[in-house]
Structure 1
Amino acid sequence: MRAHRYLTSALTALAARVKGEDPERGDVPGWVMITVMTAALVLAILIPFREAIVDAVTNALTSVTTGG
């Protein structure tokens, strides 16, 4: 829920800032949509596979630090 609140407030602040700016500056809604969709995909992957990801990273770091 904290991520959702953060994204909502960030998007609201960005939308308020973008109003009235030069339209030649770039496609702000496009990159905002890509950023939000990327964050959603990361959360969609991380939530169900969190334990497996943590175990894999821990095993990899242990393997590197112990030398085998």
Structure 2
Amino acid sequence: MRALLVLDPINEITHPDDRYPEVCLDQVRERGVLENAARAAAATRAQGVPAVHVVVGFSAGYAD
């Protein structure tokens, strides 16, 4: 079985108004990461292949 895995573009580092945009927001913008991920997911779904979104989660205080 085929599927496209879309790893969580964590809002805290991909949104300019969130907690840590300095981590990689420049690269996200320069490389068109969000737009490319959305385009890939749409193209995958159009072919009848599932696009599986992997959500990353952390405990309070980021102990993990």
When normalised by structure 1's length, the TM-score is: 0.38
Structure exhibiting the larger radius of gyration computed from Cα positions: 1
Bigger share in helix: 1
When normalised by structure 2's length, the TM-score is: 0.39
Bigger share in strand: 2
